[in-house]
Structure 1
Amino acid sequence: MLVAASLLLTAGVSTMANAQSQPPASSVVAPAQQQSRAQQLMGDIAPKLAELTDDVLFGDIWERPGLAKRDRSLITVAALIALNRPDQLRSHIALARRNGVTEQEIVEAITQLAFYSGWPNAIAAVGVAREVFKR
């Protein structure tokens, strides 16, 4: 159930991984204050979606004590590989690295998923991982 919720919440989120270090969308944001990544990417068009991204996805789900952020990152990376979501995968591989997932573990996850989610998804994920690892 948690994985299903994670899939639903992350499937439409582009580069929101950085949003978790930003203030929630519901807080008062003066023009001079820095907006969250979600607010920057979609706040003008979909303010409620940006607020839910900040408050629910990154403010609640990612902060729940039941799983370490490292584990949440690995699960999210796996889901994004399986769904072939390279735009979201890019930011979540970077977040996974910050949360303690090694490059070797990411590559192992990609290899494992090649057999369960499809070879093309794995090949696409390798390209994204290569790009992120070079940064």
Structure 2
Amino acid sequence: MGGRREQMDGKRQFAHERFRETEREWEDALHNPFTQVVLPGDRVPTNFLRLHEAAYAPGRNLDEWAKARGQGEHAVTGGLPTRSDLALHLRLTERKAALLDRIAIKKGRPEAAVQAEEARALASQLRAEIDGAA
């Protein structure tokens, strides 16, 4: 019996070593979800999620799927909030928009005004997610 347990522990350790870098990338992407990309023809970068949106609210799509099949309102998540730091992300994004507005006005930088508008759009999405999770 001890040999089988040691074999399983060895496989677990191998898996941790093999996927360590991928795990770090995911962890980083969960804490810093956006990457900025300047699209062809644009002068201002656009924010894109680094992972699929389901990674940031893991049970939402599954809850919807289960509900559509008669399994109940929160069959997967049990009604848990999607992410505890969503409200913090919202506050920081709103602050970012305000600061970018100040830069646009005081420094005369129109690209900051565009970035502020993008931040407000993101804040609106975050607000809708928070309202949807409540």
Tell me the TM-score normalised to structure 2 length. 0.29
Higher relative contact order (CA 8 A, sep 6+): 1
Tell me the TM-score normalised to structure 1 length. 0.29
Higher share in strand:
2
Higher share in helix:
1
